[in-house]
Amino acid sequence: MITLQGKGVSAGIAKGRLAFLKRTSVSVEKRSINDVEQEIERFDAARRTAAEQLDQLAGSMITKIGEENALLFEIHRMMLEDTDYIDPIIEIIKTEKVCAEYAVNTAGSRLAQEFADMDDEYMRARAVDVYDISKRVVEVLSGEEQTLARSDEPVILATDDFTPSETAQLDRNKVLALVSRQGAVNSHTAIFARTMGIPAIIGFGAFLSGDLAGKEAILDGDTGVLHLDPDPEVVERLEAKKEELRKEKEKLESLRGKPTRTKGGRSMKLYANIGSVSDADAALAGDAEGVGLFRSEFLYLGRNDYPDEETQYESYRKVLEKMGDRLVIIRTLDIGADKQADYFSLPKEENPALGMRAIRICLTRPPIFKTQLRAIYRASAHGNAAIMFPMINSLDELLRAKEAAKAAREELAAKGVPFNAAVPIGIMVETPASAVISDVLAEEAAFFSIGTNDLTQYTLAVDRQNDSISAFCDTRHEAILRLIKLTCDNAHKAGIWCGICGSLGADLTLTQTFVEMGLDELSVEPSRILKLRSMISEC
């Protein structure tokens, strides 16, 4: 038996034969040309055809991978129209007098490499998108289409890295699981695999060599382990796990649509953390009673300029409409630190986590804050919205943020734009300072939601981005638990509710503690909700 360890990005157990994805490759030759203008026109025509293909693909993929995911193909089309993509290709055709296929391949590879070298994990994952669009243009130019040769028998499919187009077009009945040498947790391939319910493991590197093709395999997409020629005991263990997961799922399904209650009969709310419009579907599928944290950063990341009010309004409105009368807590912009967007031109800082981030940016750049607040208020006419400010450290910051919300309301009212003037305004408690003065903050906040990810980072002085010190990060540290208890008690004294939206909320070893502390709400990844409801019912 050979055992390989990768990074599990889509859970599930799969057993079958390992097959490598065969691409009938389109060869790209360096061919000299005489007529530069004609070659540029050839490239332009191919680009337009590729754009049309992507439009069609976006339309046809909606049912398979969801509306929001299918939007990726629209983004690919936009990339094809971007001068940053086009200009270097034309430059190569002009200066080297070579064919368009070669120019697209060369410039595309360089751009993909630039993305691959970036610090930001999200941007690194975009390299495969550039590769994907270049491949498409080369195919159009050469008149040959790369096809994925597949066997009729369902297999565990392996390759270097799957492009988003390939993953989206996979036949679910022929693919038991995906495994790759490269890949990123945030790649669209990983996202699509989760959406389609295909177990997937990435990042095996060269260990996933071609000579393993045809071997019997079994994998666990949760732990990221792939066994080849597995020992009978391993197969037995993983098949037992699969059966256990199936039974557990069946049990949890019986809790769908039921209220969340402790053993003693106290009601709690189980909300979902979401980061995009399509995540609202996952929240509903997970049986969330609301959205406890809508990370609005997705609107600002991965783009070249600020999202305007209309763009933001549309996204908030869509989520509110999808969630119906369930509460949707929209967290205002939390950019900075680990979430960087170049166009903000944030200063280079020694300690970005202690620097210009979250509410600090909003309070020092009022127009950005106002645009977002106006968009949220406008959307509030379409559902049950709440606003939540991140990283509030003092009463003064909270009052200034609330003043900005009031100004946005006044502007909309003056223009007769409909909105809900009674949108509750709460805060995230993410620093020791805010937990310690939570009695004061509770007088001005409609609710508290404890961001344990940052609260842990700032209380224990452990950088949440730094893997090398993770051994020093005791997420269940007594100091954190005491700060949560203090915050919850102060909320209740002031008559407001208190929840947790950081990762700790989903820690099942602490559910009993949180129930005993009297927390009113936990906001977690949608897939955790039914399990937590089951756990709470036993506490």
Q: Dihedral (C-alpha) 493, 498, 504, 506: value to the nearest 10 degrees?
A: 130
Q: Which of 301, 377, 291 is nearest to 333 (CA)?
A: 301
Residue 135: both structure tokens together: 């491949």
501 in catalytic set? yes
Contact between 68 and 314 under an 8 Å Cβ cutoff? The reply is: no
498 in catalytic set? no
In the DSSP assignment, the letter for residue 302 is T
Partner in contact with 295, chosen from Mg ion, ligand PEP, none, beta carbon below 5 to 8 Å by kind: ligand PEP
Residue range at the interface with Mg ion (CB under 5 A); choices 74-82, 215-223, 432-440, 454-462: 454-462
6 contributes a contact to Mg ion by CB under 5 A: no
Q: Which of 361, 374, 354 is nearest to 335 (CA)?
A: 361
- Of residues 338-397, which lie at the interface with ligand PEP (CB under 6 A)? none
Binding residues with Mg ion: total (CB under 5 A): 3
Note the Cα 176 to chain centre separation in Å.
Answer: 24
Q: Is the Cα torsion angle 475, 479, 482, 487 positive or negative in sign?
A: negative
463 contributes a contact to Mg ion by CB under 5 A: no
507 contributes a contact to ligand PEP by CB under 6 A: no
Of 47, 76, 126, 295, the one binding ligand PEP (CB under 6 A) is 295
Counting other chains too, the contacts that 417-420 makes at CB distance below 8 Å and 24 or more residues apart are: 417/378, 418/378, 418/381, 419/377, 419/378, 419/380, 419/381, 420/377, 420/380, 420/381, 420/385
Q: Looking up tokens 């756990």, which residue turns up?
A: 535
Nearer to ligand PEP among residue 66 and residue 502 (C-beta): 502
Kindly name the residue from 99, 488, 498, 501 that is annotated as catalytic.
Answer: 501
Q: Dihedral (C-alpha) 296, 394, 326, 285: value to the nearest 10 degrees?
A: 50
Contact between 504 and 475 under an 8 Å Cβ cutoff? The reply is: yes
Partner in contact with 501, chosen from Mg ion, ligand PEP, none, beta carbon below 5 to 8 Å by kind: ligand PEP
CA contacts within 13 A on the Cβ side of 387: 29
Nearer to Mg ion among residue 195 and residue 452 (C-beta): 452
Letters for 393-432 (x = contact with Mg ion by CB under 5 A, - = none) are: -------------------------------------x--
Partner in contact with 383, chosen from ligand PEP, Mg ion, none, beta carbon below 5 to 8 Å by kind: none
Nearer to ligand PEP among residue 219 and residue 501 (C-beta): 501
Residue range at the interface with Mg ion (CB under 5 A); choices 114-122, 362-370, 432-440, 444-452: 444-452
Nearest residue to Mg ion by CB is: 454
Of 183, 290, 451, 499, the one binding Mg ion (CB under 5 A) is 451
What b/e string do you get for 303-321 counting C-beta neighbours within 10 Å, with b at 16 or more? eeebbebeebbbbbbbbbe
Residue range at the interface with ligand PEP (CB under 6 A); choices 11-19, 238-246, 363-371, 449-457: 449-457
The CB-of-454 to ligand PEP minimum distance in angstroms stands at 3
Contact between 193 and 9 under an 8 Å Cβ cutoff? The reply is: yes
Residue range at the interface with ligand PEP (CB under 6 A); choices 206-214, 218-226, 446-454, 481-489: 446-454
Kindly name the residue from 188, 227, 362, 498 that is annotated as catalytic.
Answer: 188
Letters for 424-443 (x = contact with ligand PEP by CB under 6 A, - = none) are: ------x-------------
Total length of the chain: 539
Nearer to ligand PEP among residue 134 and residue 459 (C-beta): 459
For residue 146, the surrounding DSSP H or E stretch is none
Nearer to Mg ion among residue 224 and residue 451 (C-beta): 451
Q: Which of 83, 90, 101, 86 is nearest to 36 (CA)?
A: 90
453 contributes a contact to ligand PEP by CB under 6 A: yes
Counting other chains too, the contacts that 430-433 makes at CB distance below 8 Å and 24 or more residues apart are: 430/390, 430/391, 430/392, 430/454, 430/455, 430/458, 430/502, 431/391, 431/393, 431/455, 431/458, 432/458, 432/459, 432/483, 433/393, 433/394
Contact between 271 and 502 under an 8 Å Cβ cutoff? The reply is: no
Q: Which of 302, 295, 301 is nearest to 274 (CA)?
A: 295
Binding residues with ligand PEP: total (CB under 6 A): 10
Nearer to ligand PEP among residue 277 and residue 504 (C-beta): 504
The CB-of-479 to Mg ion minimum distance in angstroms stands at 17
Of 183, 451, 499, 526, the one binding ligand PEP (CB under 6 A) is 451
Of 139, 161, 220, 454, the one binding Mg ion (CB under 5 A) is 454
The CB-of-329 to Mg ion minimum distance in angstroms stands at 14
499 contributes a contact to ligand PEP by CB under 6 A: no
297 contributes a contact to Mg ion by CB under 5 A: no
Q: What distances in angstroms separate CA 383 from CA 186, 328, 425, one per listed residue? A: 30, 8, 15
Nearer to ligand PEP among residue 33 and residue 436 (C-beta): 436
Residue range at the interface with ligand PEP (CB under 6 A); choices 177-185, 186-194, 433-441, 448-456: 448-456
Q: Which of 147, 121, 123, 117 is nearest to 135 (CA)?
A: 147
Of 452, 459, 487, 490, the one binding ligand PEP (CB under 6 A) is 452
Nearer to Mg ion among residue 307 and residue 451 (C-beta): 451
Where does this chain bind ligand PEP (CB under 6 A)? 293, 295, 334, 430, 451-454, 501-502
Q: Which residues are catalytic?
A: 188, 501
Where does this chain bind Mg ion (CB under 5 A)? 430, 451, 454
